[in-house]
Amino acid sequence: MSGGGTSLTGEQVYRRFLALTALRWLPTGLLMPVMVLLALERGLSLSQLGLAAAVQGLVVVALELPTGGLADSLGRRRLLLVGKTINLAALLVLLVADSVTGFVVFFALQGLYRALDSGPLEAWYVDTARALDPRTSLARGMGAQGAVLAVAIAVGSAGAGLLVAWDPVPGADALVVPVVLAAVLQAGALLATALLMVEAPRSAGLGFRRQLAATPGTVRAGFALARGDRVLFALLAVELFWGFGMATFESLTPVRLAEVVGDERQAAAILGPALTGVWIASALGSALTPRLCDRWGVAPTAALMRVLQGLAVLGMGVAAGVVGLLTAFLACYAVHGLSNAAHVSLLHEQATDDVRATVLSLNSMVAQPAGAVGMVALTALADGTSVSLAMCVGAVVLALAAPLYLPAWRAERRRVEVGA
């Protein structure tokens, strides 16, 4: 049987989706323990790093919707290949960046990559799998993806921590070695995408120029869907709070840990294994998504996780020692994996095949500028007061997103009643 014009079976689509997810996130895992510390080591302050990182969000805001529309009109595979090539270039820039300007260029390229990367792989999977079987469980696919994503980041983070502790290249900065390996793996991910991602032609019968010309209409259709669908509008609004608050555990955790232990290199060595643990916890949370969603409902599960994540980040902000900080960090990511899978499942239920990547791009478009504002505001607050206070503020913002799942909850209950 074939779906969407491909010769793949449903199981092959599922396996390739997970394999490409793993290759997508391994390089990210390698960067996580070292990128902030590398910038600080090269002379940037937290505020300078926050401003440089904000460029990524601005680029995503400018390009997220056009690239989502291109993925829906030109094809998801094409966009992913371009995006992975750009990310490889970004990693090469990071290897030599030693000033604010260098990091601005890195984050600008990362923003372009994120805009191209956000949505096409998931949209390809959902469209292809549901063409084969319309009853395909989205919670199962998104939960499995979240688990694989988390394990890939865990492995990458563990590798980064071990490389920094081992310092295997005499004369080279130990914090740079994981970046080199990330670039090598990114090249492998580019090749794997070219070989494994089989996609039926988008807009069959149209030439490239006509497909390109159809992109603005696709973007308008995605906007119209979001504007007219109260459930989808509220789901997108969740990202305002989520994006702002994620700066706490994604960017401030290494600084908080360095503050607690009193040494940046020691913090990097601890953070590598710690990130392995938290991403394994995230994988377990993602794997539990189908079970909890079946028991409680997808929207209630997502809402509860927002509150629990806020509490976990609050614990990170007030923890007095390394053990308390790492325990709260573990809890934060266990909840993060589950909530992300539930949220994406809700987005896919509201989207249609012709604008699926555009809807996912809308979701990212909201999250990225919110993340940029969060990064600037929270790093400035950390510089001006304390990292602990900045994390506590971010924790409150994360929890405030929970009521926005109410429309999705009501819609889910109506679907259950109709199907009963």
Per-residue pLDDT at 392 exceeds 70: yes
Q: Express each pLDDT in 84-122 by its tens digit.
A: 999 999 999 999 998 999 999 999 999 899 888 878 898
Residue 99, both tokens: 């000033």
pTM to 2 decimal places = 0.72
Which has more pLDDT, 283 or 57?
283
Distances (CA, A) of 202 to 134, 194, 317, 345, 353: 19, 17, 48, 23, 11
116 closest CA partner among 81, 89, 91: 81
Which has more pLDDT, 215 or 334?
334
Instruction: Give the pLDDT confidence score for residue 377 in this predicted structure.
Output: 92
**Confidence band of 370 (pLDDT split at 50, 70, 90):** confident
Per-residue pLDDT at 353 exceeds 80: no
CATH code for 10-419? 1.20.1250.20
Instruction: Give the pLDDT confidence score for residue 1 in this predicted structure.
Output: 38
Which has more pLDDT, 70 or 103?
103
For residue 208, give the amino acid letter.
F
Please name the residues in contact with 212: beta carbons below 8 A apart, sequence gap of 6 or more: 70, 73, 74
Per-residue pLDDT at 387 exceeds 70: yes
Q: Please state the φ and ψ torsions of residue 332, each to the nearest 5 degrees.
A: -60, -45
Which has more pLDDT, 198 or 80?
80
Q: Express each pLDDT in 157-210 by its tens digit.
A: 888 888 888 888 887 788 899 999 999 999 999 999 999 998 776 554 444 455
23 closest CA partner among 265, 179, 190: 190
Name the least confident of 87-96, 147-156, 325-334. 147-156
